[in-house]
Chain A
Amino acid sequence: MRKLISQPDIQSSESPLLKPSKHESAIRQVMGNARYVDDIPVPADIAYACVGITGVASGTLSGLDLSAVKQAPGVIDVITVADIPGHTDIGPVFGGDPILVDGEVKFHGQPVFAVLAGTEEQARYAATLASMDITPSAAILTVDDALSANSTVRPQHIFGQGNALDALQHSPLTAEGYLSVGGQEHLYLEGQVSLALPEEEDRVMIYTSSQHPSEVQKLVAEVLGVKLHKVTVDMRRMGGGFGGKESQAAQWACLAAVFAMRQRRAVKMRLPRMLDMQITGKRHPFENHFNIGFDGEGNMLAADVTVNGNCGHSPDLSDAIVDRAMFHVDNAYQLGASKVTGNRLKTHMVSHTAFRGFGGPQGMIMAEHMMDTVARRTGLDPLVVRLRNLYSEEKGLTTPYGMTLEQNVLPDLMKQLSDSSQYWQRREQITAYNQQSPIIKKGLALTPVKFGISFTAKHLNQAGALIHLYTDGSIQVNHGGTEMGQGLHTKIGQIVAHEFGVELDNIEVTATRTDKVPNTSPTAASSGTDLNGKAAQNACLTIKARLVELFAETYQVPPDTIVFENGCVNAGEHSIAFADLIQQAYMARISLSATGYYRTPKIYYDRKNGTGRPFFYFANGAAVSEVSVDTLTGEYTVDAVDILHDVGTSLNPAIDRGQIEGGFIQGMGWVTTEDLRWDDKGKLTSNNLATYKIPAVGDAPSHFNVALFDRPNNEDSIYHSKAVGEPPFMLAISVWCAIKDAVSSLADYRIDPEIAVPATPERVLAAITALTENDDVSA
């Protein structure tokens, strides 16, 4: 039946697809009545929870005196791990994440107990009053220490092609490189928050700001010791997620739920900013290393790359994150013989977690580091080296993990961008400028991104949707994805409106709820539209098949002539308003509700042999960044950015552009000013917005040009579009390379300066000083 339905044309001017529709919540957002969890009107019996945390990174909790906490004003209840009725480990994949300290202290800031009080302020204050006896033990706080101690959260993984060590020995030129890659605080503007409402007997309702409602449901049920069907999780929107609410939103929902069931009253748990920054995981810091072999023409011959992820105290999602770092150390380049090693190091730090790119950025930056190294050693322009090493038929299309590139767009894309951005003219201008500018030096870099799309945990690549048609022709859509600002609901609305040939305002995408679509995957890995869009489309097709059958019978027309367009259903001279057809279908006792399901085809990975096709396809892009660096202070500005990005067929060019620009600026923060600092006791010192600086409005480059690369996905993704959430983040590696380019001008472009990420002004000045070694101004 399904194949008999004629598919509407996505290029049609009437279709809501390919149009820059505004974000579905835009009007409510600008009016201030888009509701976030903390804005939900609360029952009169609401109480507020907060956690008390450790002040040491490692040790054993030998005594805990909570009497002052219990006596503090407004306090209703105090719990420790002993009061948890069910599971006490809330690790998302492997375990290792106690909901509250269970004997062993694992990091500075680990929650030890939770307190419930009448107001937020009372709960926060009471949480500071406990007296803890902790017998300290030696803390492992760096990757190097963890490597020495062989302290890991998961086993090492290795893959590669050919014999890299042998090829290195036979390479005409070799180089070694090291890069310290900093982590990153998510800094979602809306902090972590959950609201738990006790319902009849052992049932509970959770409102949470989470990218993964199904996991919150599972963990709340386990912590309470009930089955999953007793717990319902509702998630309308997040005020930003970026990965920080994938696994680490659950703990606060669990604690709120425990209190709610103990006290039979509504409980809200919202982390104030400083606490949020101290006790939730961040992007993994990495300490990476490479040995490469190449020839005098800049051709890569061999690469032995090791990525060392600082995972913090528990596995959380780190296994997949370090895998993704490994899968991206080649970025877009044929490295030759390769060996890629990934270590997952256990430290006494908060458990680092998902963050846009999911390890990809920390791996990919090594590829660009290699290209810069080769360029400076050979005296070639870095862009020449990059273009020369791109995957191609001649160079080979097989990645270090054995996957073959089937749609290789970057040679064309980078050529187009280098032309449109006038890279070579600007290179000449900058060289000339630097010769006559003694203090300010400009730098330029064009870097590509090739990012693998699919969850590398294969089972997560599935999605469900639920569509209801009401008798007036209006439509509700529910799906497993969550809206965190990325425009997922807008795109799903466009897809459903397109399938039924109706206008966008006929579609209401409702809050993500575990009682509507079960067992969902997190909204992560850029997969939201790919997975849920296909699931929603499949639900549409199921209902359309029923409607087509009715229409065909009513008008005696062949089913394949029936089209849904312009608010009508048409076949030849027969036309009926969509709402009228729905009314007829209702009267004819036809079901107007359906689920849809989708799983990604083709993907697999053989971990034992380190080979497979972990990704359905690759999303690509490239950016040219131009910077000015002050050689007296190390300060810099990002002056101009040109981006050409591959989203396949763009379902919504405005939303895609928003993802590209926003991702780029967030990535720019990661490589420039976002400087996570811990002291030698393992305490986070960059623990508020006064000490941790994300890009502000003035940091947006004055020239910021974004274009979409016009080529559909050759895989059967939803309307041949491509995922866009994470890939643009890594375009900002061009900023880091441009800063290095400016500094390299001080050594006549023959040395690649060592500048760790983030390249703070202090680090840039140190690199300048190292290159000039002269206490005079560089001129």
Chain B
Amino acid sequence: MIEFLLNNERVSLEECDTGISVQQYLRQQQQLTGTKEGCAAGDCGACTIVLGEIAADDASITYRSVNSCITLLANLHGKQVITIEHLAQGKVLHPVQQALVDHHGSQCGFCTPGVVMSMFSLYHTDIAPSREVVNKSLSGNLCRCTGYRPIIEATTEVCENRQPDQFTAMQQQTLDALKNIRAEHKDVFANNVHLPETREAMATLLAEYPDARLVGGSTDLALETTQQLKALPELISTQRMLDCRQIDVTEDTISIGAALPLSDIEAVLVAHFPALHELIERFASLPIRNQATLGGNVANASPIGDMPPVLLALNASIETDNGRQTRLLPASAFFTGYRQTQLAKGEWIKAIHFPRLGPDTQLRAYKVSKRHEDDISAVCAVFTVTTVNGVITAISSGFGGVAATPVSCDDLATQFTGLSWQDEQVRQRGKHILMSAFNPIDDVRASAAYRNQVLGNLWQRFWFETQTALLATTRVPHYA
């Protein structure tokens, strides 16, 4: 059984079909047809809903936008589900709805419910609505009619004038109801989806169901049903695993729980690695980052995932667990083949450990794609260089989109250690090394030739950006 709040109504589902998305449940079983299907793949945002969850402080609720089309029904357990139908009170529109009307922010109206829900989730934060913040909040909502200007203005205006709403008024009751659900359920199971809370329970389940698949935020796995029409097997979710949801910062390491959604780890990553800011902002869209986990991105081992190159360049370690013992695997050895890793049967990823950078190390992370937001990398490149008195002592790198796995280029360190970082030949030779380091493919996103050329040029960008004297602009997207 799983239990959740649908707006303020407690819903218990004994039967919970793994193959059904939250979007299908809302439209087909609750007749809540305000939530639309535009793509069933998490790319358009017409199905955006908001999930209320008990916040980390245990005393408030966070409201996150998610793509209901790729959310498994079982993942609603212990959460409050808010859809477009729940915002207005009778004929009185919620302020975000009224703002969108006042700014003429709907034309065909099909993206509108999703847009409203994204606005609503931003409305329930205290973040000042700069253009970058608004862009981020709406990064998962495609609109084909308006050109976005009125939506941006509506969002900005309403979030500059936030007032308490009925959800604020109900917050304590909602919190109590969610805590009751939490208290009443230990190990949650709904048909084919298990949601263990402890490593012992997880290990037992993995032993009992050796063919079961692990799932985190389901943003990738759900596509197998919505796009490939496959029936999903037994699933074991990491979502409630408490020891996979910790963040630990020590003097030399940043440790990040594998089951945390990316939006929960952005702040700590950017605080310690400011150079990752642009890459993180451009990682899918906010609704995806509200569900997708670091562990999932690493375990998938997709050659076009954006976090594995970061792990490689930062010499991160992946901590796995099987319930009895943990293993620490270096990222450099983790990715063994196309979507294959060293993760053994019965194991799951517990955490990722990032060594902190010293003052002599410079980091840059680059993503090149057709569209700046919510696109898959043609090339992702992450570099570090460590210098002592201007002399290179170490170079590390990680790349996506150029091989069957996330990869590094060790030649850079081999060739340049001991040279001056300012040496012009480091720029020139590095470019040539990278232009022929890999054998990328031609595909719908880019040609192999473009990928090779861009790799070389991103090395040049890295070199320019880390020279002390450079004052020129080096990138077109602007992320504050």
Contact = CB atoms under 8 A, between A and B. Distances in A.
B8 interface: no
A760 interface: yes
Of B146, B428, B464, most A-chain CB atoms within 10 Å: B146
A440 B474 contact: yes
Contacts of B88: 31
A581 B478 CA distance: 62
Contacts of A437: 472-473
Given A32-B35, A690-B376, A698-B372, A440 B473 contact: yes
Contacts of B149: 661, 700, 704
B139 A698 contact: yes
Interface in B132-182: 134-135, 138-139, 141-152
Interface residues of A, number: 91
Task: Give the most central of B110, B227, B372: most A CB within 10 Å.
Answer: B110
Interface in B12-62: 19, 31-41, 43-44, 46
B85 interface: yes
Nearest to B39: A273
B112 to A, nearest CB: 5
A428 B368 CA distance: 30
B131 interface: yes
A187 B107 contact: no
B458 interface: yes
Interface stretch (A21-29, A139-147, A557-565): A21-29
A238 to B, nearest CB: 6
Given A632-B460, A698-B372, A237 B139 contact: no
Contact of A273 (B40, B372, B476): B40
Nearest to B445: A691
B104 interface: yes
Determine the main DSSP class of A at the interface with B. Answer: loop
B109 A34 contact: yes
B415 to A, nearest CB: 18
Given A32-B113, A240-B144, A690-B41, A658 B97 contact: no
Given A666-B144, A697-B148, A698-B372, A439 B36 contact: no
Given A440-B473, A696-B371, A189 B106 contact: no
Given A32-B85, A686-B444, A654 B104 contact: yes
A702 B480 CA distance: 14
B135 A23 contact: no
B112 A697 contact: no
A543 to B, nearest CB: 31
B116 interface: yes
Contact of B145 (A630, A662, A673): A662
Contact of B108 (A238, A438, A704): A238
B37 A689 contact: no
B422 interface: no
Contacts of B378: 761-762
A250 interface: no
B41 A688 contact: yes
B141 A630 contact: no
A677 B442 CA distance: 12
Interface size class of B (residues with CB under 8 A): 35 or more
A475 interface: no
Contacts of A503: none
B106 A633 contact: no
Given A189-B38, A658-B145, A700-B152, A693 B370 contact: yes
Given A125-B229, A189-B108, A697 B373 contact: yes
A439 B464 contact: yes
Contact of A439 (B37, B152, B368, B472): B472
Contacts of A240: 108, 110, 144-145
A689 B36 CA distance: 16
B41 A273 contact: yes
A694 B453 contact: no
A22 B101 contact: yes
B227 A274 contact: yes
A685 interface: yes
A485 B147 CA distance: 13
Given A189-B144, A698-B372, A23 B107 contact: yes
A484 interface: yes
Interface in A15-73: 20, 22-23, 25-36, 38-39, 41
A666 B473 CA distance: 29
A320 B93 CA distance: 45
Given A691-B444, A702-B131, A273 B141 contact: no
A437 B476 CA distance: 12
A30 B36 contact: no
Contacts of B447: 762
Contacts of B100: 26, 30
A29 B374 CA distance: 25
Contact of B109 (A29, A629, A633): A29
A188 interface: yes
A696 B139 contact: yes
A131 interface: no
B106 A23 contact: yes
B243 interface: no
Interface string B174-200: 000000000000000000000000000
A343 B443 CA distance: 30
Most buried by B among A128, A242, A272, A685: A272
Contacts of B369: 693
Contacts of B374: 696
A485 B107 contact: yes
Nearest to B137: A697
B370 A760 contact: yes
A500 to B, nearest CB: 25
Interface in B369-422: 369-376, 378
Contacts of A776: 428
B475 interface: yes
A665 interface: yes
B101 A27 contact: yes
Contact of A30 (B32, B112, B143): B112
Nearest to A128: B229
9 contacts: A26-B106, A34-B109, A189-B144, A485-B145, A658-B104, A685-B444, A696-B371, A702-B131, A769-B453
Interface of A: 20, 22-23, 25-36, 38-39, 41, 121, 124-125, 128, 187-191, 237-242, 272-274, 436-440, 484-487, 628-630, 632-633, 635-637, 654-655, 657-658, 661-666, 673, 675, 677, 685-686, 688-691, 693-700, 702, 704, 760-762, 765-766, 769, 775-777
Given A30-B97, A696-B374, 7 more contacts: A30-B98, A32-B83, A39-B33, A439-B473, A689-B43, A696-B142, A697-B135
Query: 7 closest pairs, A vs B, by CB?
Result: A32-B34, A485-B108, A239-B110, A29-B109, A32-B84, A665-B147, A689-B43
Interface of B: 19, 31-41, 43-44, 46, 83-85, 87-88, 93, 97-98, 100-102, 104, 106-113, 116, 131, 134-135, 138-139, 141-152, 227, 229, 368-376, 378, 428, 431, 443-447, 450, 453-454, 457-458, 460-461, 464, 472-478
